Amino acid sequence: MMASLFVSLFLLVNAFETARPLAGNLWAIAPAYQYNPSSLVSGVTYANPFGYADLYNTISFVNYTFDGFREGIQWQYFGIPEYREDTVSIGTDWVIAQWISVGVELHKYIASIKTQQLRYTQSFYDYGIYCTIKPFDRASIFIMQNNVRNFNDDGYIPSETIVALRTEFFKGCIVEYELSYSDYITQLFKIQGFITSYCAVNIAYSRELNTSSAGISIIWDSLLVQYVLHHHSFLGNTHSIGVVYSLTGFKYAHFNKPLKKEIKKLDIQCCTAEELTELNVVPELLCQRIVKYRSMFGPVSVTSLYQLGFTTQQIRDLQEYTYNFYEQEKRVHDNDEQNNKVVHNKYISSEEKNRKMKQLFQSMVTAGIPAYIALSLSEEFQNNGQKGLLQSPLFKSLTTQQQKVVKSLCGIQ
């Protein structure tokens, strides 16, 4: 009797492992939430696989973002009281530039059998590396090599390569295609459509996995509640429900811009990074660069936004909700009286004080040094001089040619 129970459960485990890509992401840094600008996202889901009595699956996760880095931890439970599988995953990724990020995840799998006659536990470890590329505002590519190394000889956890393409075709409609290669090739097609700013429907299908799903998501301020029905062609249905919390709330791309009449425009020269982030127009990292640039070099202009890594569309979006951009090209040189007005401008003292550092930053960007590196190196040179610059980890991370350019610009022999 016990043997037949475990055989049946083993078959269900393998079937559910196969169908799980439709049920949710397996990663601690869940790609489904990478488009949400919130610094904190957490959630939990519950499912009863194929309606099997006493068998259930739960997934809990927390993701935290700070200063261009994102950390995540996830715990997954699957099984019945006598048999269970626990998976603990931790991960981190780093936004290298506005359009690309890389990350790594570590996984620990624990299989346990506990009955009156038998007690057995075994652990497995592996890791995965991944990269997210976003060449356009409404399109992204996710590449992951999961289970890179199997630390056991039995091949319990096979290596897996995942490529996912995600794009927005119409207003409120996202289409995703995912190709996975492990012991065999599987393809997933997913569509998410927003009916309103508070409600979305989701459907997915995989011929190779013999499974499909349909669900609905309801957004209420900082909470997202989702119900999904997964159908397997011969095993039956799985019902799952999940609740996700976002610190800054869930808003879809076409609905996340506040109406002009509902907000007061911000002064770009004195607003905080938090105020800019709350506009939900540009990423938090770019908002922080604006404030840092302002404190080092003075007033912000449209030209300086380009130098900080903003795209033309992002600048246009930002200008809808901000004003008082510094117009460098329109400095007044007509007469002495107008020149005196420029000298007494409330920003001019700061600008004059940091003029050389500003020129250094602009020269680095022109020479091909990434904006965030040029900004940090200029600050380091300003605060700690040549010695601090040469010892900076960011300076050492540059290529030999780039280091020569920076030395030349800073007058270092």
Q: How far apart are CA 297 and CA 364, in angstroms?
A: 14
Same domain for 130 and 213? yes
Residues 283-307 have pLDDT tens digits of: 888 898 899 888 888 888 888 888 8
- Mean of the pLDDT values across residues 87-92? 88
In a domain, 340, yes or no: yes
317 within a domain of the structure (yes/no)? yes
Say yes or no: 216 and 349 in one domain.
no
The answer to whether position 251 is within a domain reads no
Check whether residue 304 and residue 335 sit in a common domain: yes
- Residue 311's pLDDT is what? 84
Does 315 map to a domain?
A: yes
Mean pLDDT within 227-252: 83
Instruction: Let me know whether 380 and 238 are in one domain.
Output: no
Whether residue 255 lies inside any domain: the answer is no
Least confident of 30-39, 309-318, 369-378: 30-39
Q: Kindly state the DSSP code that residue 384 receives in the 8-state scheme.
A: H
Q: What is the mean pLDDT of the chain?
A: 77
* Range with the poorest average pLDDT among 60-69, 187-196, 231-240: 60-69
Weakest mean pLDDT among 152-166, 193-207, 370-384: 152-166
On whether both 51 and 189 belong to a single domain, the answer is: yes
Average pLDDT, stretch 306-331? Answer: 79
For residue 391, being part of any structural domain is answered with yes
Position of tokens 């890179």?
148
Same domain, 68 and 182: yes
Name the pLDDT band for 241 (thresholds 50, 70, 90): very high
If asked whether residues 121 and 57 sit together in one domain, one would say yes
At 12 the pLDDT is 52
Q: Which of 240, 324, 189, 328 is nearest to 59 (CA)?
A: 240
One domain, residues 277 and 217: no
Domain count across the chain: 2
Q: Which of 211, 246, 281 is the last residue of a domain?
A: 246
Same domain, 295 and 357: yes
Q: Do residues 224 and 313 both lie within one domain? A: no
Same domain assignment for residues 241 and 287: no
CA 128 to chain centre: 16
pLDDT tens-digit readout, 183-192: 788 898 988 8
Predicted model pTM: 0.57
Domain boundary among 246, 268, 283: 246
The candidate with the shortest Cα–Cα distance to 39, out of 10, 63, 14, 11, is: 63
CA angle 147, 14, 211 (to 5 degrees): 100
Q: Is residue 365 part of a domain?
A: yes
Distance CA 282, CA 291 (A): 14
Q: Which of 214, 246, 278 is the last residue of a domain?
A: 246
In a domain, 120, yes or no: yes
Shared-domain flag, residues 111 and 242: yes
CA distances from 191 to 22, 25, 233, 238, 327 (A): 12, 15, 20, 19, 44
Choose between 2 and 215: higher pLDDT.
215
Place of tokens 């109406």: 259
Checking if the pLDDT of 214 tops 90, the result is yes
Supply the CATH number for residue 6's domain: 2.40.160.40
**Residue 294 belongs to what domain range?**
260-410
Q: Which amino acid is at 211?
A: T
Residue 244 backbone dihedrals phi, psi, to 5 degrees: -125, 135
Q: Do residues 379 and 412 touch, judged by C-beta distance below 8 A?
A: no
